[in-house]
Chains A and B, each alone.
Chain A
Amino acid sequence: MPEAFLVKRCAHHRWLHRFALLTALVTFCLIWVGGLVTSHGVGMAVPDWPTTYGYNMFFFPVSQWLGGIFYEHTHRLVASGVGFLTIILAIWTWAQEERRWLRNLGWIALGAVVLQGVLGGLRVTQMKDEIGIFHAALAQLFFVLTGAIALFTSPWWQRGSPGKMTIYAGGRFRYLFAAVTGLIFVQLVLGASMRHQHAGLAIPDFPLAYGKVWPSADEASVERYNRDRREVTALNPITAGQIHLQMTHRLAAVAILAAVAWAAGRTRQRLGWGSPLARLAAVWLGLIVVQGALGAFTIWTNKAADIATAHVAVGALSLMTGSLLVLMAARLELGASECAGSATPAAAAAGELAASARVTPSGSELPAGR
């Protein structure tokens, strides 16, 4: 991570920070609405793009927002709103921010949202499910990007820390959080791959799978699964690959739960509840537990749209929380020298860190301002 990324502290633009928060919040809403589109299987309910049934999308009659069109059209409108917010955010950041890398980050966010819009449009016009997977994955990354910008413009980030420090001996939290967050992202891509095959539940039971610990996926079994299931909507046939994909998703979920629980426990043990990292890591663990429950309920409710969408949304929050933890840990561990010139913020940061530090029985190295 480049030093300039961490150490430069400049004037705090309160409203820019609030606007970045708003953008992240609306992006979260967009992920929720996008999740509803896929959960209801109505991504193709509006066959044209960027128009809506030949209308300029902003003038499409409300009386026609029916059935699947409601979800898809609402998704497009909220997406337009996020695009608009991102344009403002990029320009605002460029105009007010002293940190060049942050100004660049604003433009990167703008590029990402444009790419995301084009991917969404191509998903419709090219009628390719595969594009939906990239669309879903980029949505998660864009959400993280908006959250990161909000963090970078926050007073907490700009206060900085008084210098580089090692939070605890034997490792650095940012690497720990980064590894687990990377695993969560892989898990979200697996989930998106399952959802965008539009095949419903490849395995309809949980915790077993077709009544077994590991389901049969030979040709005859898969044919039987397809024949025996009942569905109202147009679902693509289950394949052996989808069965393996869901089993991988389940195993990855267990691995993530274990990893986050360990990371949260380790953080609390080393830093104590006074540390923002420990508190956020505890929230992270809570999200993962909720996420696991939602995953189970997604199956038990035969992929009820609201439950499945909540599963997507909490997944996004889990990724966001992990990403924020990575950045915050990096901020605390690498500290800030250039930005700590101002006595008051530096002292505040030092005080915060001192409050979060405690000595372990073994006398390990702990956070210490210097």
Chain B
Amino acid sequence: MKMSLPCLSLSLAFLAGSVPGLLAGEITGKVVLKGTPKPEIKIDLVPMCGAANPNKDNVTTRHYVVGPGGGLANVFVYLKDAKAAPAKGPTPVLDQVGCMYEPYVFGLVVNQPFKIHNSDALLHNVHATPKLNKEFNFGQPLKGQENEKSFDQAEVMVRVKCDVHPWMLAYIGVCDHPYFAVTDKDGNYKISDVPDGKYTIVAYHVKTHGATNPGLSNPIEVKGTAKADFTIEIP
């Protein structure tokens, strides 16, 4: 039996309409900071770290990384009530470069393995201090050393620190689905492959929202594409 192209298209359209979430959509948006944060604090790297960091004279805390248009970087944006789904894409890597963690903020799916890499010819310890997941702390004395870890419960956010160099901090948002993103230096984000449906979208900024505030949240309906902008205010 032959099926014409228009007929096939109609069939797919019908199928997509009758089975919610079959077609993947995309959520985009921008997070803007309103208000002027206090200046960041310069981090005085110890000599060995300084030697490993080409930007050693300009290393600061990363409480509020704000782009030219007020776009706020390092905001973890995620869908609060999406159905559980497996991770997609390459294995995330948390790197230690010049005695700083890169990236500062990133996301994981529950039970998704991620790599912890040491690019420094220095000893670091990697100490995760979650509230819900299992805490871990191990050493990485060698350059190029890599360990793999995962978290078995959703938790926004898990802090990772190095106690040898206590200014080294990173934050991991762990969700039970892959529908999350972290804003870039201009405050933009994009969450891909989101099944059509109605959700609550949350923007969480580590410094602004801290331990008690769950972050900004808005209802959102995804039909192919959707847009959600946020404004984070500081007095």
Contacts and interface: CB of A to CB of B under 8 A. Distances in A.
Interface stretch (B38-46, B87-95, B105-113): B38-46
Interface stretch (B9-17, B18-26, B68-76, B121-129): B121-129
B36 to A, nearest CB: 12
Interface in B34-58: 38, 40-41, 43, 46, 48
A233 B167 contact: yes
Nearest to A44: B163
**In terms of DSSP, what is the predominant structure of the interface of chain B?**
loop
B7 to A, nearest CB: 58
Contacts of B61: 230-232
A66 B43 contact: no
A234 interface: yes
B213 interface: yes
B139 interface: yes
Given A44-B163, A45-B164, A230-B61, A66 B46 contact: yes
B229 interface: no
A35 B192 CA distance: 49
A45 B208 CA distance: 28
A232 B43 CA distance: 7
Interface residues of B, number: 34
Nearest to A47: B137
B210 A237 contact: yes
B141 interface: yes
Interface string A26-65: 0000000000000011111111100001000000000010
A69 interface: yes
Contacts, number: 81
A223 B213 contact: yes
Interface string A194-222: 00000000000000000000000001001
B53 to A, nearest CB: 14
Contacts of B148: none
B4 interface: no
B149 interface: no
Contacts of B212: 219, 222-223, 226, 237
A64 B123 contact: yes
Interface in B74-123: 122-123
A41 B139 contact: no
Q: How large is the interface on A (under 10, 10 to 19, 20 to 34, 35 or more residues)?
A: 20 to 34
A228 B234 CA distance: 9
Contact of A43 (B40, B138, B163): B163
Interface in A225-260: 226-228, 230-234, 237
Nearest to A48: B139
Contact of B164 (A42, A48, A223, A224): A42
Given A47-B127, A47-B137, A42 B48 contact: no
Contacts of B165: 67-68
Contacts of B127: 44, 47
A53 B207 CA distance: 33
A273 to B, nearest CB: 48
A40 B207 CA distance: 21
B166 A233 contact: yes
B63 interface: yes
A69 B123 contact: yes
A45 B210 CA distance: 24
Interface of B: 38, 40-41, 43, 46, 48, 61, 63, 122-123, 125, 127, 129, 135, 137-139, 141, 159, 161, 163-167, 169, 207-208, 210-213, 234-235
12 contacts: A42-B163, A44-B127, A45-B164, A48-B139, A53-B139, A64-B141, A67-B165, A67-B166, A68-B166, A127-B135, A230-B61, A237-B212
Given A44-B163, A47-B125, A64-B141, 15 more contacts: A42-B166, A47-B139, A48-B139, A53-B141, A64-B123, A66-B164, A69-B123, A69-B164, A219-B212, A224-B235, A226-B210, A230-B40, A232-B43, A232-B167, A234-B129
